[in-house]
Structure 1
Amino acid sequence: MSARRVWAVAVLTGVALAALVLLLGALGSDYERAATGAPAQTQVVHVRSGESLSSLAARLAPEQSAAAVIAAIRELNGLEGVGLRPGQALVVPAYR
């Protein structure tokens, strides 16, 4: 095999592997949310004094990934910051 042919095969193999990595990255980018499962229902809860998004996620769905539950709460309520107010009403996933 000539050096030119070896080089061409190496480049094509590299491009194919790069495409595969990009494809798997795109498919797997939302794996955690997909694995957690979308809740069939939502509910309204009120934030308790001293409660954070993490502790709220643990209270609502201790068996689920806290990051996925927090992402769902943020999305449902349009939250961008991390601050919550005691008594604040939030729409949250109903996992139970």
Structure 2
Amino acid sequence: MPTTIIDGHEIQVDAEGFMTELEEWSEPLAKSLAHQIGLELTDEHWKAIRFLRSDYREQGETATLRRISVVGGIPTKELFALFPQKPAKKLAYVAGLPKPHGCV
């Protein structure tokens, strides 16, 4: 597995840069990951991130946008505003989770 250094920590990642070890993630690391893709995290971002991580622990896979919207209660339009262009992919990246199935 490849690794990368973020804020002085060696992180296990896949070929696309998504974290592969759930326990390596932390909220300070999420802020650094967000910064790398041009995001400044707000309370609304954290709501989505925390839902996604919680759902991943329960379901064993990264939720799709539809699931985040329906189960997490965050409208799709809001997700696009929070994580522009590729919300599911960007949200998973910042949350330290695998890329959702079906994301290109």
Tell me the TM-score normalised to structure 2 length. 0.29
Asked which structure has the greater CA Rg, the reply is 1
Determine which structure has the larger helix proportion and give its number.
Answer: 1
Tell me the TM-score normalised to structure 1 length. 0.31
